[in-house]
A and B are shown apart, each in its own frame.
Chain A
């Protein structure tokens, strides 16, 4: 017994070391699948408040570019309004009163504007923290876009903050299609370069051209159809391959990302419920 106690005391540091390493390793492994712990991630409010503070300094230097983007978007929106008004006025004259218009249910979206307060692009698993949370109506699984295109999907939400898995994280696959011919496939990021991602699921009979636009397919409940994801930068196919290896230049520049919109799909629950129901039957 005395020997045992002596042994324990002598090697207590080693045991402490092993104990701490086991804890750390467990945290790493548990965290691989799905980050449940809001407390020890950057949606924790103490950490977020600090990031918000540091971001307010950094953002000052990005104001110019952000302004340009905003004014560009403003003009294009104004143009759309005018176009739509014109269409509406012509339609009103031609159609009788009894006909009323309905927005297709899959197009009923609302946008929640949010600001990026922390964004990594140089890790193998990147995350983005936003300054809006459950209070502002953000829920898990909502899509996130910027003026340029698709950013990612909301992963954890606390009261005032939320964390997004961007395209720059191999845990996320986004279903996209080509604008030109509607062939679709999942886009995945593995490169370690924040500008490019890969699309490896397009069969060899499809005709491709450099610069083709890739947009969201609308087959998932996160994004409406037709939001830009990227452009073909390069594609390869070997004699023996059945599928192209396509290098996609992402539409969003993650290094300068500052303002984003979270997509609130109003019929999300209804669509999910009915899909689940038919799977069960």
Chain B
């Protein structure tokens, strides 16, 4: 069961990294990368969808608990988990019966980059709009979405290009 173990370790490490380090990053006041979404992005392709959804919900709630934003991360993460399969089908052609872990090697470089960019943008947009819910600071929200997504995407692609197959 190396894949399961690998995913559990990744889950714990990324959650710790997120709440202890990344939540404290405030570069330029706008950039706040949410790298933990990689946990969902890196789940095996054929993972049962209900498991993915429940995992995403639990993950979101954990992050919420640490940052006092009850519900916001849970909402955005569950949305990403739900849309993930559709996006994979859209960009790649994975044969039935195969169960690869998403990466540069299994998806191909351009498909994987598209996959990460689209899902991170969806996640960050939902999250920051929810956060800005009660007031209308459109430009600040937009700046936060763009800059944070950019940094998160760079970090995810960086980590993935370092890891071996």
Using a CB–CB cutoff of 8 Å, the interface residues on chain A facing chain B are: 12-13, 16-17, 20-21, 23-29, 31-32, 35, 37, 40-42, 44, 47, 50-51, 54, 120-125, 127, 163, 170, 190, 192-194, 255
Q: Is B2 at the interface (CB under 8 A from chain A)?
A: no
> With A40-B65, A123-B69 in contact, is A16–B131 under 8 Å at CB?
no
Residue of B nearest to A39 (CB): B65
Bound CA span A178–B23, Å: 36
Smallest CB separation, A234 vs chain B (Å)? 18
- The contact string, 1 if C-beta is below 8 Å from chain A, for chain B 39-69, is 0000000000110011011001100111111
> With A54-B20, A192-B140 in contact, is A44–B65 under 8 Å at CB?
yes
Contact B67 A120 (CB under 8 A): yes
Contact B70 A25 (CB under 8 A): no
Contact A32 B82 (CB under 8 A): no
Bound CA span A35–B67, Å: 13
Chain B residues with CB under 8 A of A13: 49-50, 53, 82
Contact A35 B68 (CB under 8 A): yes
Which of B61, B67, B70, B71 is A123 in contact with, Cβ under 8 Å? B67
Q: Nearest 3 CB-CB pairs, A to B?
A: A27-B71, A28-B71, A24-B75
Bound CA span A51–B74, Å: 21
Q: Is the interface of B mostly helix, strand, loop or mixed?
A: helix
| 11 A-B residue pairings within 8 Å (CB atoms) | A20-B57, A23-B74, A24-B57, A24-B72, A27-B74, A28-B130, A122-B30, A127-B68, A170-B135, A190-B137, A192-B137
- How many of B's residues come within 8 Å of A, CB to CB? 37
Residue of A nearest to B68 (CB): A127
Using a CB–CB cutoff of 8 Å, the interface residues on chain B facing chain A are: 19-20, 23, 26, 29-30, 32, 49-50, 53-54, 56-57, 60-61, 64-72, 74-75, 78-79, 82, 130-135, 137, 140
Residue of B nearest to A190 (CB): B135
Chain A residues with CB under 8 A of B70: 27-28, 31, 35, 37, 40-41
Bound CA span A23–B57, Å: 10
